[in-house]
Chains A and B, each alone.
Chain A
Amino acid sequence: MTRATSTSRPTASAGSWHRFANPGRFLRISGHVYPWSLGLALLCLGVGLVWSLGLAPADYQQGDSVRIMYVHVPAAWMALFAYSLLAAAGASLLIWRHPLGGVAATAIAPVGAAFTFLALATGSLWGKPMWGTWWVWDARLTSVLILLFLYLGHMALTHAFENAERGRKAAAVLALAGVVNLPIIKFSVDWWNTLHQPASVTRIGTPAIHEAMLWPLLVMAGGFMFFFFAVVLLRMRAALAAQRAEALDRRIMLGR
């Protein structure tokens, strides 16, 4: 099927999907969503900070070092979540040529990298007093380090070509290939012997974490999630404005 026929006769679902490709519509929707995500992020992070640093109990084995969990675990969850979105945005760019796909992926990658770095750094700060070491080359830590490199590779590839579109597509291919790393990260603690503890929240049955610690963790995770969306929306709007400015600049130059 050629490109011309696919655009002149879109199916019903493709038609409704492509409505969101219109940057004008995206800008309108994101204008409404942004203040809510930022407000909810600040609310959740404010409540979560007081809860996790003050009200939540110390662990009977780990003492107060367990409070690192309220930053470490949400950061790690966001690192994985952001990567799934990065891959989805890449797929929408490669398969449907969705123009917002490339913009979204470019906006997501540095934010995902920052959360991955945060997960690794806080994990290190937790590992030192609990395991007696900052770092071990075990399956969980190594696969998350690879995740960080995937994000960095994505950022480098995006800007590696003179033609911006080619850069975005090459980065999208990398993002899709890297998806194989996600289940490896998730199940690494079950498949291999590791110092890292197994999942205690996302397991079948009741979580192996007391409610007094689970709730502040979920509030912090919500704060991280809303914060992520707020920043990504800002970055996408900035990229779209830059694109329009670029196009206008070219036209003014040609008009002279």
Chain B
Amino acid sequence: MDGLFSFLSMGGYGAYVWPSYGLALLVMGGLFLQARRDLRHSEQRLLDLKQRDASQQGGRDGKDNPEASR
């Protein structure tokens, strides 16, 4: 237990060391999660639009549609 306390106190500098690492975790975690959410969001939107486009094209009898076939 003493070992844990001395680790957390960081030789008296715990109030400066831990916020530094916490901030890094917060900033980098936020960057990563936001980027992944954006990617999922825009890929889903693209997929939805492709399906809508394909159903529209189907109604117009086999018109050439390179975007839907990708």
Interface residues of A (CB under 8 A from B): 49, 53-54, 58, 63-65, 67-68, 71-72, 75, 110-111, 114-115, 117-118, 121-122, 125-126, 128-129, 227, 230-231, 234-235, 237-239, 241-242, 244-245, 248-249, 251-252, 255
Question: Using Cβ atoms and an 8 Å threshold, which residues of chain B touch A245?
Answer: 42, 45-46, 49
Q: With the chains together, A245 CA to B23 CA distance in Å?
A: 35
Question: Using Cβ atoms and an 8 Å threshold, which residues of chain B touch A230?
Answer: 32
Known pairs A54-B7, A234-B36. 15 more at Cβ < 8 A?
A49-B21, A63-B11, A63-B12, A64-B13, A64-B14, A65-B10, A65-B11, A68-B17, A72-B20, A126-B20, A235-B38, A238-B41, A242-B38, A242-B42, A251-B53
Judge if B67 is at the interface, Cβ distance under 8 Å: yes
**Binary interface profile of B, 1-38, with partner A (CB < 8 Å = 1, else 0)?**
00000010011111011011101100110111001101
Q: Are A238 and B38 in contact (CB under 8 A)?
A: yes
Query: Contact residue range for chain B?
Result: 20 to 34
A-B contact count (CB 8 A): 107
Q: Are B39 and A125 in contact (CB under 8 A)?
A: no
**Given contact pairs A241-B42, A245-B42, A245-B46, A252 touches B17 in the complex (Cβ within 8 A):** no
